[in-house]
């Protein structure tokens, strides 16, 4: 009889341990971009979605320099979900040292293809810049160093026969800082790779007269996949009265190969069951489509995401 309290206590401890393990916290660090871009508000929306829809989730959002940094952080185990541009993802998977990936990032796995980034080159009207060729001798911000935007800048300008040495000055700045310099007449133009209606460019267009510079279809065709010809519709920004041709690159959500299948399944499921919350956070999310989410990634799907798409009859 004297042993029963001890046995009961031991049983209670074991039961508590099992219960704790079953409800263990799952930390989900969401790697985004600068706060003036599109990745960040969508990451904040994802944080709220995961907190309510993924059992045991403890999500957080980290502002970063975006694609290249995000992918390196995922490989290093310092994040669970990351936003990235498709060309950065391809270079990471191949291990392109020039872009910022000294070796192949073999732990990357795809959750979903999401919305396209549009290469948006915006000049102050007083700079006189109307075409890509007009950028020669001018002051241009090309995005944070070795970011996805900066990779886009080098690719687009290179296809148009323009090197950084042809520019009057090159600044490697995030979106908001680029806009601040343009308002102060310290820059002539900024190249920003983002969803349509990005906050930084809306701010710029409401502050000074702008010109949205065309990226001709032949330049995009010269680059090829994953770049595609696209259009920035008239009225996207104040003072933009006509459609403007440009290039687009699809964005992806990625994770790590060692993140457990059930967690990634729940994250993928929650993403598509709460798309309205993402659209409310930024209109770029309107382009996220379930039937396109499992296609064309240069990196394999995570088994958890694959399970979700199979359930939906998409694989």
Query: Where exactly are the structural domains of the chain?
Result: 25-116+252-311, 117-249
Phi, psi of 120 (to 5 degrees): -115, 105
Give me the long-range contacts of 292-297 (CB less than 8 A, separation at least 24).
292/113, 293/112, 293/113, 293/114, 294/112, 294/113, 295/113, 296/113, 296/226, 296/250, 297/86, 297/89, 297/110, 297/113, 297/252
CATH T-level fold of 117-249? D-Maltodextrin-Binding Protein; domain 2 (3.40.190)
CB 271, CB 59: distance < 8 Å: no
What architecture is domain 25-116+252-311?
A: 3-Layer(aba) Sandwich (3.40)
Match 């010809």 to its residue by tokens: 229
Give the C-alpha separation, 65 to 36, whole Å.
Answer: 11
Match 């709460």 to its residue by tokens: 274
Give the C-alpha separation, 27 to 273, whole Å.
Answer: 21
User: By three-state DSSP, how is residue 176 classified?
Assistant: helix
pLDDT 10s digit of each residue in the chain, 315 long?
A: 444 544 444 444 444 444 333 346 899 999 999 898 899 999 999 999 999 999 999 999 999 999 999 999 999 999 999 999 999 999 999 999 988 999 999 999 999 999 999 999 999 999 999 999 999 999 999 998 878 899 999 999 999 999 999 999 999 999 999 999 999 999 999 999 998 999 999 999 999 999 999 999 999 999 988 899 999 999 999 999 999 999 999 999 999 999 999 999 999 999 999 999 999 999 999 999 999 999 889 999 999 999 999 999 999
CA dist list (Å): 49 to 36, 37, 54, 101, 233: 21, 20, 8, 31, 30
- The reply to whether 25-116+252-311 and 117-249 are identical in fold is yes
Tokens of 29: 């660090």
Work out whether strand 108-124 and strand 244-256 pair parallel, antiparallel, or are unpaired.
Answer: antiparallel
């Amino acid at each position: 009889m004297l042993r029963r309290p001890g046995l009961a206590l031991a049983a209670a401890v074991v039961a508590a341990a099992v219960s704790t393990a079953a409800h263990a916290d799952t930390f989900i660090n969401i790697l985004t971009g600068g706060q003036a871009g599109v990745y960040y508000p969508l990451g904040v929306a994802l944080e709220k979605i995961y907190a309510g829809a993924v059992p045991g989730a403890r999500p957080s959002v980290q502002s970063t320099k975006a694609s290249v940094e995000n992918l390196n952080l995922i490989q290093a185990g310092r994040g669970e979900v990351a936003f990235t541009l498709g060309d950065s993802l391809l270079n990471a998977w191949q291990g392109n040292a020039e872009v910022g990936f000294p070796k192949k990032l073999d732990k990357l796995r795809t959750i979903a293809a999401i919305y396209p980034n549009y290469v948006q080159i915006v000049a102050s009207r007083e700079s006189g810049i109307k075409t890509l060729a007009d950028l020669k001798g001018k002051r241009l911000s090309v995005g944070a160093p070795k970011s996805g935007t900066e990779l886009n800048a080098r690719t687009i300008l290179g296809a148009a026969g323009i090197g950084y040495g042809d520019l009057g000055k090159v600044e490697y700045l995030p979106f908001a800082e680029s806009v601040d310099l343009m308002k102060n007449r310290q820059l002539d133009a900024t190249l920003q790779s983002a969803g349509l209606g990005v906050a930084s460019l809306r701010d710029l267009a409401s502050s000074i007269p702008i010109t949205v510079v065309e990226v001709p279809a032949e330049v995009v065709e010269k680059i090829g996949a994953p770049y595609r010809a696209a259009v920035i519709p008239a009225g996207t920004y104040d003072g933009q009265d006509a459609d403007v041709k440009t290039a687009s690159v699809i964005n992806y959500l990625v994770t790590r190969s060692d993140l457990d299948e059930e967690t990634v399944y729940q994250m993928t499921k929650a993403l598509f069951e709460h798309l309205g919350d993402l659209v409310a956070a930024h209109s770029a999310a309107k382009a996220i489509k379930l039937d396109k989410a499992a296609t064309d990634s240069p990196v394999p799907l995570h088994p958890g995401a694959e399970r979700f798409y199979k359930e939906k009859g998409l694989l």
